[in-house]
A and B are shown apart, each in its own frame.
Chain A
């Protein structure tokens, strides 16, 4: 069964600190892995997309890694800001014409001053 699991479920950090979020998946055949940020009451916004051959990708203070052998990914946030408070969702796309996405349940991050 295609699944995406994330940990931790929630996380509280102080402003300025770094954090790392984890994602494990069992999607096959694999096409790509994305990380989305979802603010409360809003739609998800894409942060990074990585294909099978990519190990790491950065977008500003966000750095995603991918290990396709162990089927694990991480999202590292550097120098957190209050505006980083949101749900971070790991999403995997199965290989196929429909580009259907399989979502994890997200990590709820709270950045406190």
Chain B
């Protein structure tokens, strides 16, 4: 029973490029959360999705960031026109009941 999968584990982008981060929740889980961890800071909530629906995106920047969780396939966090300040670890978690299970994260570096 595989845990939460994220890929890529490491992603390097130049300023202005697009970054696509993928998250496959645990089998049977239909709730996904995305968190961002800036260097030397705690994780911060970005967005909460159920299959085909965005439930809460109050933590996501209004511009350049978007997220989706289609009926089939992984959840995608998309960052357009990346800037150096987007460099961070991005974690997703899938939920069962009251528990959230975290993936290993994607470390994004913007050059």
A49 touches B98 (CB 8 A): yes
B contacts with A: majority SS: strand
Q: Residue among B4, B31, B98 with the most chain A CB within 10 A?
A: B98
Binary per-residue interface labels of chain A (18-61) against chain B in the complex, 1 for a CB within 8 Å, 0 otherwise: 00000000000000100000000111111001000000000000
Query: What residue in chain B is nearest A36 (Cβ atoms)?
Result: B102
Query: What residue in chain A is nearest B55 (Cβ atoms)?
Result: A98
Q: How far is the CA of A42 from the CA of B100 in the complex (A)?
A: 15
B56 touches A98 (CB 8 A): yes
In chain A, positions 79-113 with a C-beta closer than 8 Å to chain B are 89, 93, 97-106
Option from B4, B56, B101, B104 in Cβ contact (under 8 Å) with A100: B56
A-B contact count (CB 8 A): 53
A43 touches B4 (CB 8 A): yes
In chain B, positions 63-111 with a C-beta closer than 8 Å to chain A are 91, 93, 95, 98-105
Q: How far is the CA of A65 from the CA of B99 in the complex (A)?
A: 19
Query: What residue in chain B is nearest A106 (Cβ atoms)?
Result: B42
List B contacts of A101 (CB < 8 A).
33, 35, 43, 45, 100
A43 touches B102 (CB 8 A): yes
List B contacts of A46 (CB < 8 A).
99-101
- A103-B42 CB under 8 A given contacts A42-B105, A43-B103, A98-B56: yes
List A contacts of B104 (CB < 8 A).
41-43
Q: How far is the CA of A72 from the CA of B64 in the complex (A)?
A: 38
Q: Residue among B44, B55, B101, B102 with the most chain A CB within 10 A?
A: B102
Q: Residue among A42, A44, A46, A104 with the most chain B CB within 10 A?
A: A44
Q: How far is the CA of A100 from the CA of B93 in the complex (A)?
A: 11
Extra A-B contacts (20), CB below 8 Å, given A43-B105, A45-B102, A99-B98? A41-B104, A43-B4, A43-B93, A43-B102, A44-B43, A44-B91, A46-B99, A46-B101, A97-B55, A98-B55, A99-B48, A99-B100, A100-B48, A100-B56, A101-B35, A102-B45, A103-B42, A105-B40, A105-B42, A106-B42
Residues of chain A having any CB pair with chain B under 8 Å:
4, 32, 41-46, 49, 89, 93, 97-106
